[in-house]
C-alpha cells in the first residue's frame, strides 16, 4: 500500500450531468486528489459553484473546453462522465499522451466491437483500444486494474447483477441457462436530459418496466457473468423505473445445482475482505435508502424451498457504487491507495 500520500492531479470531462456532479463531490473531498480541470463545451467559462450550488465554497474552478493536450499537461488522471459514444473520440490522443483514463460511459465495456455497435447504434471510433481496456469491476478485476491506463467503469445495473451472482458462478453452483434479473432504478439513472418520461408528473406515483425486449446493459452483464462462470450464460434482464431519485434494487433468481448448500456462508466468505460489499444476516433484506450516497452494495440471500430456487436481493446507489463512487474506488486501486479513501461516508437517512 502506498504510504507516501501523493497528490494526484485529476480532471473530469463532462461534469454537467448527475454522474459528473457526484464525481466532483467525491473528488473534492478525497484526501489525495487535486481537481485541476473540469470541462464542458456548453458551459465553458461558468464557475462550477454557479452550476452546482452544493460546490460553493469548495471549488473555484470554471468549466473549460475539453482539449487533450491541455488535459495531459494539467492532469495525471482523467475521468469521462460523458454520454456514450463521446469518450471514444478523444481517447486515442489521451492514451498517446500517456494520461490514465477512467471512463464511466459504456464506450470500452464490451469486448465485442460488433456487439457494441449494434447496441449503441454508431461505429466505434477506436476499436483498436478495446482489447487493452480493463473492465474495472473491483471485486473481480482488482489485479488487472493495477497498472492499467484505460479503465472502463462498469454500469449501474451490471454492477448490482454481477455482484449478486458472483459467488455462485465462481463456484459453479447454479444452472447458467436460466438466470433472471428483475432490476429497478431511480430516475437519476436516466440522466439529466429533458425528456417527457422523466418529468415528475410522469415518474411520481408510478412504477413501470422498460427495455424488456432488450436493454443496452444486457450484453455487458452477460459478458461479465460468462467470465465468472467460465461458460456462456443466459440472462433474462428486465429493468424498471422507480419513483425516486437514487437507488437500484435488483432481485435475482437462479436454480442451484444442490439446494442443500450453505449459501449464506458462501456469500459471507466470498465478500469478507471486500470493503464495499455488505452481506446482511439471514432473513434481513436490503433497502435502497440504507446505501443512499455511499459506495456500498448490500446483498441478501434467500433460498425459496417451495420452488428450490434462490433469490438474491441487491441494493446500491446508482450514482455512487453504480458510477462515480466505483470510479473513485478504481482510482484508489490504480494508485495503490486504501480503497476506502474518500468513500467512507455514512448513508443519508431519512
DSSP-H helix ranges across the chain: 18-28, 48-51, 68-74, 87-96, 113-120, 138-145, 156-170, 200-203, 217-229, 263-270, 325-334
Mean pLDDT of 309-316: 98
| Cα–Cα distance measured from residue 219 to residue 267, given in angstroms and rounded to the nearest whole number | 25
| Cα–Cα distance measured from residue 5 to residue 335, given in angstroms and rounded to the nearest whole number | 10
**Which residues contact residue 41 at a Cβ distance below 8 angstroms, ignoring those fewer than 6 apart?**
65, 66
Single out the residue of 188, 321, 161 nearest to residue 251, CA to CA.
Answer: 161
Mean pLDDT of 178-184: 97
| Cα–Cα distance measured from residue 348 to residue 339, given in angstroms and rounded to the nearest whole number | 21
Residue 350: cis peptide before it, omega within 30 degrees of 0: yes
Per residue in 249-260, pLDDT tens?
Answer: 999 999 999 999
Residue with the bigger pLDDT between 200 and 104: it is: 104
Query: Residue 102 corresponds to which cell in the numbers above?
Result: 477512467
| Cα–Cα distance measured from residue 26 to residue 343, given in angstroms and rounded to the nearest whole number | 7
| Cα–Cα distance measured from residue 204 to residue 241, given in angstroms and rounded to the nearest whole number | 10
pLDDT at site 165: 99
Selecting among 75, 126, 153, 156, the annotated active-site residue is 156
pLDDT at site 4: 54
Edge-to-edge, what's the strand order for the sheet holding 309-316? Answer: 208-209, 235-241, 179-185, 248-254, 309-316, 297-304, 277-279
Per residue in 188-208, pLDDT tens?
Answer: 998 888 788 888 899 999 999
| pLDDT for 1 beyond 80 | no
- Grid look-up 419513483 returns 243
pLDDT tier at 75 (50, 70, 90 boundaries)?
very high
List the single range of 2-6, 58-62, 219-223, 322-326 with lowest mean pLDDT: 2-6
Query: Residue 52 corresponds to which cell in the numbers above?
Result: 452546482
The pair phi, psi for residue 44, each rounded to 5°, is: -55, 130
Asked if 154 and 224 touch (Cβ cutoff 8 Å), the reply is yes
Query: Residue 152 corresponds to which cell in the numbers above?
Result: 472502463
pLDDT at site 193: 80
Reduce the DSSP state of residue 201 to 3 states and report it. Answer: helix
| Cα–Cα distance measured from residue 96 to residue 248, given in angstroms and rounded to the nearest whole number | 37
pLDDT at site 148: 98
Domains of the chain, earliest start first: 8-132 (3.40.50.720), 157-318 (3.30.360.10)
Query: Residue 210 corresponds to which cell in the numbers above?
Result: 422498460
- DSSP secondary structure of 36-101: EEEE-STTTT-BHHHHSGGGTTT---B-B---HHHHHHH-SEEEE-PPTTTHHHHHHHHHHTT-EE
Per residue in 261-305, pLDDT tens?
Answer: 999 999 999 999 999 999 999 999 999 999 999 999 999 999 999
Query: In 155-187, which positions are buried (b, 16+ CB within 10 angstroms) versus exposed (e)?
Result: bbbbbbbbbbbbbbbeeebbebeebbbbbbbbb
pLDDT tier at 6 (50, 70, 90 boundaries)?
confident
pLDDT at site 3: 47
| pLDDT for 323 beyond 90 | yes
**Which residues contact residue 344 at a Cβ distance below 8 angstroms, ignoring those fewer than 6 apart?**
none
Instruction: Examine the residue annotation and report whether 156 is marked as an active-site residue of this protein.
Output: yes
pLDDT at site 190: 86
Q: Which helix (H) or strand (E) holds 151?
A: strand 150-152
| Cα–Cα distance measured from residue 245 to residue 231, given in angstroms and rounded to the nearest whole number | 36
Please give the model's pTM, rounded to 2 decimal places: 0.96
pLDDT at site 197: 84
Q: What is the mean pLDDT of the chain?
A: 96
**Which residues contact residue 240 at a Cβ distance below 8 angstroms, ignoring those fewer than 6 apart?**
182, 183, 184, 185, 207, 208, 209, 210
Per residue in 42-56, pLDDT tens?
Answer: 999 999 999 999 999
Q: What percent of the chain has pLDDT over 70?
A: 99
Amino acid at each position: 500500500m502506498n504510504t507516501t500520500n501523493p497528490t494526484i492531479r485529476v480532471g473530469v470531462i463532462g461534469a454537467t450531468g448527475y454522474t459528473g456532479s457526484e464525481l466532483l463531490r467525491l473528488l473534492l473531498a478525497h484526501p489525495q486528489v487535486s481537481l485541476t480541470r473540469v470541462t464542458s463545451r456548453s458551459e465553458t467559462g461558468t464557475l462550477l459553484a454557479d452550476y452546482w450550488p452544493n460546490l460553493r465554497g469548495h471549488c473555484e474552478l470554471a468549466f473549460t473546453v475539453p482539449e487533450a493536450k491541455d488535459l495531459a499537461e494539467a492532469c495525471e488522471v482523467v475521468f469521462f462522465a460523458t454520454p456514450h459514444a463521446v469518450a471514444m473520440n478523444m481517447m486515442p490522443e489521451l492514451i498517446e499522451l500517456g494520461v490514465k483514463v477512467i471512463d464511466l460511459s459504456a464506450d470500452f465495456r464490451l469486448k465485442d466491437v460488433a456487439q457494441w455497435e449494434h447496441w449503441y447504434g454508431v461505429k466505434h471510433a477506436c476499436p483498436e483500444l478495446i482489447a487493452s481496456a480493463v473492465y474495472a469491476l473491483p471485486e473481480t478485476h482488482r489485479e488487472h486494474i493495477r497498472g492499467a491506463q484505460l479503465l472502463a467503469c462498469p454500469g449501474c445495473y451490471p454492477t448490482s447483477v454481477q455482484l449478486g451472482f458472483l459467488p455462485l458462478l465462481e463456484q459453479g453452483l447454479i444452472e447458467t441457462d436460466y438466470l433472471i434479473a428483475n432490476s429497478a432504478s431511480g430516475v437519476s439513472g436516466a440522466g439529466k436530459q429533458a425528456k417527457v418520461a422523466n418529468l415528475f408528473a410522469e415518474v411520481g406515483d408510478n412504477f413501470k418496466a422498460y427495455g424488456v425486449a432488450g436493454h443496452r446493459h444486457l450484453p455487458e452483464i452477460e459478458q461479465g457473468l460468462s467470465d465468472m462462470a467460465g461458460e456462456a450464460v443466459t440472462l433474462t434482464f428486465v429493468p424498471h423505473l422507480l419513483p425516486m431519485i437514487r437507488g437500484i434494487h435488483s432481485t435475482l433468481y437462479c436454480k442451484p445445482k444442490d439446494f442443500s448448500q450453505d449459501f449464506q456462508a458462501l456469500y459471507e466468505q466470498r465478500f469478507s475482505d471486500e470493503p464495499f460489499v455488505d452481506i446482511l444476516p439471514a432473513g434481513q433484506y436490503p433497502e435502497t435508502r440504507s446505501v443512499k450516497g455511499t459506495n456500498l452494495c448490500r446483498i441478501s440471500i434467500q433460498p425459496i424451498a417451495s420452488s428450490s430456487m434462490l433469490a438474491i436481493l441487491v441494493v446500491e446507489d446508482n450514482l455512487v457504487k453504480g458510477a462515480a463512487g466505483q470510479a473513485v474506488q478504481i482510482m484508489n486501486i490504480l494508485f495503490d491507495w486504501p480503497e476506502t479513501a474518500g468513500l467512507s461516508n455514512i448513508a443519508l437517512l431519512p
